[in-house]
Amino acid sequence: MEWNVSVGIAELWRQQAIDGFSGKKAEIPPLDLATIGAQFPIKSKRAYLNNASIGPMSEPVIAAVDAFLHDVRDHGRNNYPTWCTYADQDIKGRIAKLIGATAAEIAFVKNTTEGLVIVANGLDWREGDNVILPSIEYPSNVYCWMRLKKKGVSIKWVKPVNGRVTIESLAEAVDSRTRLISVSAVQFSNGFRQNLAQLSELCVKRGVLLNLDAIQWIGSLHLDLTKYHVDFLSTGGHKWLLAPIGTGFFYCNRKSMNSLEPPNVGYHTVNKGEAHMDYDLTYREDAGRFEEALVNFPGIWGLDAAIKILLGLGTKNIENHILGLTGYAAEGLQKKGWQIVSPMEQGDRSGLLSFHAPKADLTALEMQLREAGVDLAIRDGRLRISPSYYNDRHDIDRAIRALPSQ
């Protein structure tokens, strides 16, 4: 099916998924930020500014999941071999393109936490090792390291300075027993965006592994891992990627592949295809070794559809659009007397904007806003908005109108 305006993206994506079952490659047409909102039914009803919590489903994502489910309805397992090669080559190829990696460095996971746990449980820890963590991390990037206490591994906490996790304070924490720095590329509570190039330089220089929780980055900000070294990175699909819940991916730099022992092993860990009883626990060469068994294909077809939209729009265009919206929102909020909590220096900003007013009853306000058709979140005692590529200035204006002056 050729792309033209009379064929909706959802129909094109559905047809491409169906064609993929017989091995046909999908071509992604350029897409337009000005019109993409039409693919999101929620957009005509609400100013949904809570994409950093759970992103809404678009019609093309639903069409791709639906195409997969119909394939199983009509053909059972018959297309299984093609599903597997399509997922491993085409879908992982598009994920790789999105972040500047290779398909062989990608494993499917069900959420960000699973990727973080693979790293925590897969490294060969020695008693006395330590891990550096900012003290404001989402718990997914905390508990898996806390549990390593049993193995004699300690956490060195780094406190933010005015909401910023600085390279200087991370560097100061590194000592001769530091194995890994694990940070959120963008902080969930205040939207602080890490300088990944500088962080990578620090880790390479000091011989420390770098692990990123990238769920608040990918899908909202441009990422190119060809530019700097990152060892491991994890993201779930259900926020900025606008993909189904229960999907995500784990990136393992090919140079770091052998420093990580797959914590869960099964028939996908090895390269045996259908030779099920030819037992031989030689790991696959690629990051597929971290998938122990069959993965969530229906959800992954939806993840692929969501990534095709990101690639069609262009991640640099998306980043500019989103930073434009959070910048516009910050101006409007300040005019109404709200204090911006997110770090606002050049390079610090992301798709998350936190704001506050000492006297405001935030819980009551969140409910009032929801009734007025505006969705946002409360995190760390502050209001937080997180506009995506399908949002526009009208959504921000609606939110600001609904907020009381302070």
Q: Is 112 in the site for ligand PLP (CB under 6 A)?
A: yes
Q: Please say which residue, 208 or 218, places its beta carbon nearer to ligand PLP.
A: 218
Select from 96-104, 211-219, 257-265, 311-319 the region that touches ligand PLP (CB under 6 A): 211-219
Q: Please say which residue, 112 or 178, places its beta carbon nearer to ligand PLP.
A: 112
Which residue sits closest to ligand PLP, CB atoms considered?
Answer: 236
Q: Please say which residue, 142 or 402, places its beta carbon nearer to ligand PLP.
A: 142
Q: How far is the CB of 298 from ligand PLP (least distance, A)?
A: 18
Q: How far is the CB of 20 from ligand PLP (least distance, A)?
A: 26
Distance CA 206, CA 173 (A): 11
Q: How far is the CB of 236 from ligand PLP (least distance, A)?
A: 2
Distance CA 105, CA 284 (A): 12
In the region spanning residues 215 to 244, those forming contacts with ligand PLP, defined by CB under 6 A, are 215-216, 236
Binder of ligand PLP out of 184, 190, 269, 342 (CB under 6 A) = 184
Q: Please say which residue, 213 or 291, places its beta carbon nearer to ligand PLP.
A: 213
**Residues contacting residue 88 through CB under 8 Å, at least 6 positions apart:** 103, 286, 288
Q: Is 188 in the site for ligand PLP (CB under 6 A)?
A: yes
SS (H, E, C) the chain: CCCCCCCCHHHHHHHHHHHHCCCCCCCCCCCCCCCHHHHCHHHHCCEECECCCCCCCCHHHHHHHHHHHHHHHHHCCCCHHHHHHHHHHHHHHHHHHHHCCCHHHEEECCCHHHHHHHHHHHCCCCCCCEEEEECCCCCHHHHHHHHHHHHCCEEEEECCECCECCHHHHHHHCCCCEEEEEEECECCCCCCECCHHHHHHHHHHHCCEEEEECCCCECCECCCCCCCCCCEEEEECCCCCCCCCCCEEEEECHHHHHHCCCCCCCCCCECCCCCCCCCCCCECCCHHHHCCCCCCHHHHHHHHHHHHHHHHHCHHHHHHHHHHHHHHHHHHHHHCCCEECCCCCCCCCCCCEEEECCCCCHHHHHHHHHHCCEECEEECCEEEEECCCCCCHHHHHHHHHHCCCC
| Residue 115-144 contact track with ligand PLP, rule CB under 6 A, x = bound | -----------------------x-x----
Select from 127-135, 161-169, 209-217, 310-318 the region that touches ligand PLP (CB under 6 A): 209-217
Number of chain residues interacting with ligand PLP (CB under 6 A)? 12
Q: How far is the CB of 139 from ligand PLP (least distance, A)?
A: 8
Distance CA 317, CA 292 (A): 36
Q: Is 50 in the site for ligand PLP (CB under 6 A)?
A: no
| Residue 246-285 contact track with ligand PLP, rule CB under 6 A, x = bound | --x-------------------------------------
Select from 111-119, 145-153, 202-210, 364-372 the region that touches ligand PLP (CB under 6 A): 111-119
Q: How far is the CB of 276 from ligand PLP (least distance, A)?
A: 31
Q: How far is the CB of 157 from ligand PLP (least distance, A)?
A: 16
Distance CA 248, CA 203 (A): 25
In the region spanning residues 140 to 179, those forming contacts with ligand PLP, defined by CB under 6 A, are 140
Q: How far is the CB of 199 from ligand PLP (least distance, A)?
A: 16
Q: How far is the CB of 189 from ligand PLP (least distance, A)?
A: 9
Q: How far is the CB of 299 from ligand PLP (least distance, A)?
A: 12
Footprint on this chain of ligand PLP (rule: CB under 6 A):
111-113, 138, 140, 184, 188, 213, 215-216, 236, 248
